Amino acid sequence: MVDITLNRWRKLHYHDPARVIPVIVNTAMRHASVALASCLLAYASAPLRLAAQTTLARRFEQLLRTQYQALAHADTSTLGRGLATGLVWVVATDGTELTKSDLLAAASHRQVPAPRFDIDNVRVRLLGDVALVDYRRGDHRQVGEYERTTWTRALDVFAHHGGRWLLERHTQTWLVVPVTPVDRDSAALAAFVGRYRIGPGYVDDVHWEGRHLVATASGQTAGATLVPVSVTAFSPDGVGALILFERDTTGRVVGYVQALPDGQVVRASRLP
């Protein structure tokens, strides 16, 4: 029975192009129509997703501006209403974790003049009742006619509580601003060429590469260009922690001191 049925199908379809070709064409057209409809739907929904994301980002940007306005003017009442009970606020300079009460206590001390905060480049990702909000923050602090500005990239975690978004966790990372180098001639820079012992088996080799001083530590294949910022101070690659060279009473360079971002102070002595 199976063989008869199969043979009959072959006679009707396989050997008859008039029957087979329309079937193939119709099937291909259906698949193409489905694919085209999917593409059109995705294309049509893209602006809607973008609009929704833009609206969400603006909503959280306004929330952040309210928060930092309160922080700048010691308005702990407004600030506190936007903080979750279990808030963890990580201080960028040293990694200290502040609780909600710690932050409000610190914010209660009014600064004169008040600092100014800029918020931009806000991006939001929703995960159910949790929102991950990252943004760029500019801190402007003025004393007399001098204004100091620092920039950080912050990440805030908000949770939805009772119809409101409350801040659960805040972290931030410094955005490094390249230094402005000072002009030093090669004769003056030559005094710093040498090998400096940081620790047992750990040596920093300061040498010329082209027209620049480069420091390459033990185990490293590429060094950091030392950008001069004063007579005896250099910034590795123009963004690293400053290296300050030391001289003896005769003026000979005998070592250097470097303060690392985590607070450690490295002292290196020049080898003979």
Q: Count the Cβ atoms, other than its own, within 10 Å of residue 23.
A: 10
Task: Kindly list the domain boundaries of the chain, sorted by start residue.
Answer: 2-48, 58-174, 186-270
Which of 269, 232, 265, 235 lies closest to 251 in space, CA to CA?
Answer: 232
Question: pLDDT tens string for the chain (272 positions)?
Answer: 444 444 444 444 444 555 545 545 566 556 555 565 565 555 555 565 556 678 899 999 999 999 999 999 999 999 999 999 999 999 988 889 999 999 999 999 998 889 999 999 999 999 999 999 999 999 999 888 889 999 999 999 999 999 999 999 999 998 988 888 999 999 999 999 999 999 999 999 999 999 999 999 999 989 999 999 999 999 999 887 899 999 999 999 999 999 888 889 999 999 99
Helices (H) and strands (E) in the chain, counts: 5, 14
Domain 186-270 has CATH 2.40.128.50: yes
Bridge partners of 225, per DSSP, are 214
Options 3.10.20.600, 3.10.450.50, 3.40.1440.60, 1.10.10.2520; CATH of 58-174: 3.10.450.50
What is the distance between the alpha carbons of residues 94 and 209, in angstroms, rounded to a whole number?
35
Omega of the bond leading into 113 within 30 degrees of 0 (cis): yes
Residue for token digits 């085209």?
36
What number of residues does the chain have?
272
